[in-house]
Structure 1
C-alpha cells in the first residue's frame, strides 16, 4: 500500500464556522454540492471528501475557497447518504461495518465499484455543462484514493491530495498526470515509510509531482484542524495554497 486504510483519526477533529455559499443539486442520482465562481478561470474542479462527506461544513467552506479563486466546483456525495459522523462513538461504530454499507439506509458498500461511477458522472457534468477541457481534482483522506485512480484513468489533468488514505501501490504506479501531496508529520495512515515509498514510486512514474510535509500536525489537518492553534491553522492554509499554486502551474 502507498497509504494505509482509514482509522479513527479519519473522523475526529474540529468543526469550523462559516456560511457555505454553494447549493445542493442532483447530478444523476447523486446529491452534489456545487458552487460557481464570480469570476471563472476556465477550469472545473472535483472535490472528493474525507469520510465525513459533502455536507460537512468544513468541506463546503473549502469548496467555497476554491470557487473564490475561480474554479467551478462540484463535490459529490460519495457515500449514498451514509457519511461518518464527526467524532463518531467508537463504542458503537465500526469502520469495517461502515465500509460494507451496514449503517446506510441503502446498504451500499463504500468501494470503487460504487464510487467510481459517481466520479465519472461528475466529470461528465463538468465537461458537458461548462465545456471544460481541463479538470483538476482534490482529494482529502478517503477521497485521495479516487483522485489517484482518476489520474490513472485520464479522468483529470492534475491532482492534489492531503493526508491520503487507502491508496494502493498499483494505483499510484498507474498515474499519468501530475500529483501534489500535502502530508502530516504525525500520520498513522500515511506514515514516514509509506511517504518515502510513495516518493520512490512517483519518481519512477516520470510525471511531475510535489510532496510537502507539515510539522506539528496530524492526519486530517487540511480539513479538520484546530483553527485556534497557530501551527495547525498555518498548515491548513499553506496546504490550501499548495493546491492553488500547483493547479496554476500545471493548468496554465
Structure 2
C-alpha cells in the first residue's frame, strides 16, 4: 500500500484499495479542507452489525428531537442538580437505534456527562449481512451451487455498502452535526458552560468526524480574497469540540489530520485494514509536528469494533474493551 492509498476493506474480504490524491502534509497547512472520501470504500462487518448485547443490560436514555434531528439523550441520574459536561457521541453504521450504542452512551452518562448521540444517517443505518443475503437470494436461482451463493452474498453486501456510503457523505453528515451542536449548545447550555465547551467521542464511521470537528477548517466556497487579506489566509471555521477521543476509525485519509487543534485520544486495532498503519503514523507525525496534544494506543489481538459495547467470549477482548473505554474517559475527563 502506497502513501496515497486508503484501506477500507472488510477483514474477511480480499484487499480492496482505492487511490486518492495526496493531501498536503506541510505543517503550514493548518486550515486545509478535509480530503475526499475514497471512491469505492467498504466497511467492516463490525461497523455494520452489533455483537450480542451483554446479558442483563439495557439502555436507559430516550430518543427525542434536537433541532429537528433524532438524537438519543442519556443523562446522569442527578442531572441537573449536579453540574455535568456535554458529550457528543458519534456511532458506527449501526446507528441511533442500536441498543449497544445506546448502552455505550449510558456508560458515559454514569460518569457525569450529558450524552447526545445523533442519528447520523437519517433513519438509514448501514446494511448488514442479513440484508445482503436477502438481495442475493432474490437475484439467484435454486440451481446455484453454495459457493456461488456465498459469492453472491458478498457481492450484494459490497454493493449495498457502497450505495449506503454514497448516501451518507461528508456533505450530508456535517450539516446534521452542525444542527445537533447548535441545538445542544442551546438545550444544554449549563453542561457546555460547566465543561468549557463540547466534548466528543466517536467509533468506526463516526470516528472520522471527531477529526473533522477537532480541526480548524477552511470555510467552503470562500477563497483567500474573502479571508484575512493581511495575513494572506482564507477564512476558517474554528474547532467545534474542546477535546475528543476516537476508536477504530474507518474511511480516514491522511488529509483528515490536517488542521487539527483540539486534544485527541486515539484507540487503534493492530493490523487494522480499516485504519492502516500508514494513515495512523502520518496522523501521529502531523500531530507531533504541529503541537497537537494527543495519545495513541494500539490494541493487539482484538477485532475492529471491539471498543463498542458487545459481548465476546475472548477474555482478552473483554479486557481491552474496558481498557479502551477507560482510556477515552480519562482523556476527556482530564481536558
TM-score relative to the length of structure 1? 0.89
* Among 38, 43, 64, the residue aligned to 1:7: 43
2:329 corresponds, among 233, 244, 247, to: 244
Instruction: Summarize the alignment of residues 1-252 of structure 1 with structure 2, pairs less than 5 Å apart.
Output: 4-5=7-8, 6-9=42-45, 10-12=47-49, 14-17=51-54, 18-39=57-78, 40-90=82-132, 91=153, 92-93=156-157, 94-100=160-166, 109-131=167-189, 132-133=192-193, 134-152=197-215, 153-223=238-308, 226-250=311-335
Partners of 1:195 and 1:225 in 2: CA distance: 25
* Cα separation, partners in 2 of 1:244 and 1:3, compared to 1, 3 Å: farther
Contact 2:213 2:239 in 1 (8 A): yes
Retained in 2: the 8 A contact 1:13–1:86? no
* 1:15–1:57 contact (8 Å) kept in structure 2: no
Q: How many residues align?
A: 242
> Contact 1:12/1:224 (CA < 8 Å) preserved in 2?
no
Q: 1:58 to 1:117 in 2, by over 3 A?
A: same
Q: What residue in structure 1 maps to residue 39 of structure 2?
A: none
- Note the C-alpha offset of 1:189: 0.7
Q: Tell me the SS of whatever aligns to 2:322.
A: helix
Question: What is the CA–CA distance in structure 2 between the aligned matches of 1:2 and 1:242, rounded to whole Å?
Answer: 29
Q: Secondary structure at the match of 2:334?
A: helix
* The 10-residue stretch of structure 1 (125-134 or 89-98) with the greater mean CA deviation from structure 2: 89-98
Task: Quote the RMSD (CA, aligned, Å).
Answer: 1.9
Q: Is the 8 A contact 1:140 1:162 kept in 2?
A: yes
Identify unmatched segments of 5+ residues in structure 2. Answer: 9-41, 133-152, 216-237
Q: What TM-score, normalized by structure 2, do the two folds share?
A: 0.68
For residues 171 and 194 of structure 1, what CA distance do their matches in structure 2 show? 10
155 and 69 in structure 1: CA distance in 2 versus 1, 3 angstrom threshold: same
In structure 2, the CA distance between the partners of 1:8 and 1:164, relative to structure 1 (3 Å rule), is closer
Change (3 A) 1:186 1:41: farther
Q: Unpaired segments of 5 or more residues in structure 1? A: 101-108
